[in-house]
Amino acid sequence: MLADAARGYLDEAAPVAKLRALRDAGEAHDPALWAEMAQMGWTGVLVPEEAGGSDMGHAAACVLAEEMGKTLAPTPFLSTAVIAATALRQVASARAKAALAKIAEGTVTYALAIDEGSKFDPEAIDLVAEKDGNGFRLSGQKRFVVDGGFADRLLVLARTEGGVTLFDIPADATGVTRSAKPMIDSRDAAEITFDKVEATGEDVLGTVDDAMAVLKPALEAGQAALAAELTGLAAGAFGRTVGYLKERKQFGTLIGTFQALQHRAADLWCECEVTSSAILHAGRMLDTDPENAALAVSVAKARAMDTASLAVREGVQMHGGIGMTDEFDMGFYMRRARVGAEWLGDYGYHAGVVAGLRGF
């Protein structure tokens, strides 16, 4: 029921044409669309009911993300409603609860500032948070901060004296410099420089030197939801491709009657179905056994990347010449698939996680 409701809304309010229009206007975010999603309760899908959310769980969040992937809806759903909300709910402070309430209301957006190198690696950070009286001073740079160009707040991972610490700071704090870097999929990312940015003890999310206690569940939630978005993307590309096979004629014959193309379409459908099962399993594991969800999440993310890549390649090839043109929407799916393959860990990263958890 949630998927059906989401699909009906997104087809009308956030088709691929919406993303194209935002790209042509030089915009990466539609606040009005985000406000409507908040009214429907989507921004609070992982927010506890006492903070104004619906608390439907990770499986539901994955359902929404998958439907958004089908139309490439340009929203900060993953960074705000999934990653930030999951991190904040690990903390019992009044400030965290207030932040969760704002997420549910749709009045605040977050971005996750972790990456500093060319690949996702939460442990390989150089941004330093030096002690300064009762607080800290953050200095360093973060790259590939998705939604970082317009986010209201930043979750920043920094190295402290005894480990790594997660900070929740305003994106417009003194000393923060944001350089917007539109990605190939027309969404927003940013490079952010921190020049002795002041942070108090209250800005620490969780415990000093122990960021992963808060960040690990948030990352896994984000990886599962991103995998769901990629699976939706594959389904959206597949649907467009099958529709084209049913209407395009070559020498007076529908190309969908060609057995070779039928076999390729059937193979892609099977891959999408298996990956959808992996996504559902990851969401259920996060809801029922979050301490042991890492394997299911990495399997889902690795499979989703592989399936999305196959779907867009097949889509471009089976559409022939028009599949390569900007006027045709398949290129948007291909570019989003490429960005999704890098964010929060590429195929090699998640294959390594799976291998490690299986004892190899």
Handedness of CA 56, 62, 67, 68 (dihedral sign): positive
Q: pLDDT per residue over 94-131, tens digit each?
A: 999 999 999 999 999 999 999 998 899 998 999 999 99
Q: Which of 358, 185, 354, 357 is nearest to 278 (CA)?
A: 354
CB 43 within 8 A of CB 81: yes
H helix intervals, the chain: 2-13, 16-24, 31-39, 58-71, 85-88, 94-105, 212-247, 259-288, 294-318, 330-342, 347-357
Does position 324 have pLDDT exceeding 80, yes or no? Answer: no
Q: pLDDT per residue over 165-184, tens digit each?
A: 999 999 999 999 999 888 88
> Which band of pLDDT confidence, cut at 50, 70 and 90, is reported for residue 247?
confident
Domain boundaries, the chain: 2-109, 112-203, 212-357
Q: Helices 58-71 & 2-13, crossing angle to 10 degrees?
A: 30
> Which band of pLDDT confidence, cut at 50, 70 and 90, is reported for residue 251?
confident
Q: Tell me the sheet residues that pair with 194.
A: 140, 176
Q: pLDDT per residue over 31-50, tens digit each?
A: 999 999 999 999 999 999 99
Architecture of domain 2-109: Orthogonal Bundle (1.10)
Amino acid at 127: L
Q: Which of 312, 299, 229 is nearest to 268 (CA)?
A: 312
Least confident of 96-105, 301-310, 312-321: 312-321
**Would the CATH topology of 2-109 be identical to that of 212-357?**
no
Q: Which residue carries 């900060």 as its tokens?
A: 76
What is the CATH class of 112-203? mainly beta
pTM summary value:
0.95
Q: Under CATH, what is the fold of the domain 212-357?
A: Butyryl-CoA Dehydrogenase, subunit A; domain 3 (1.20.140)
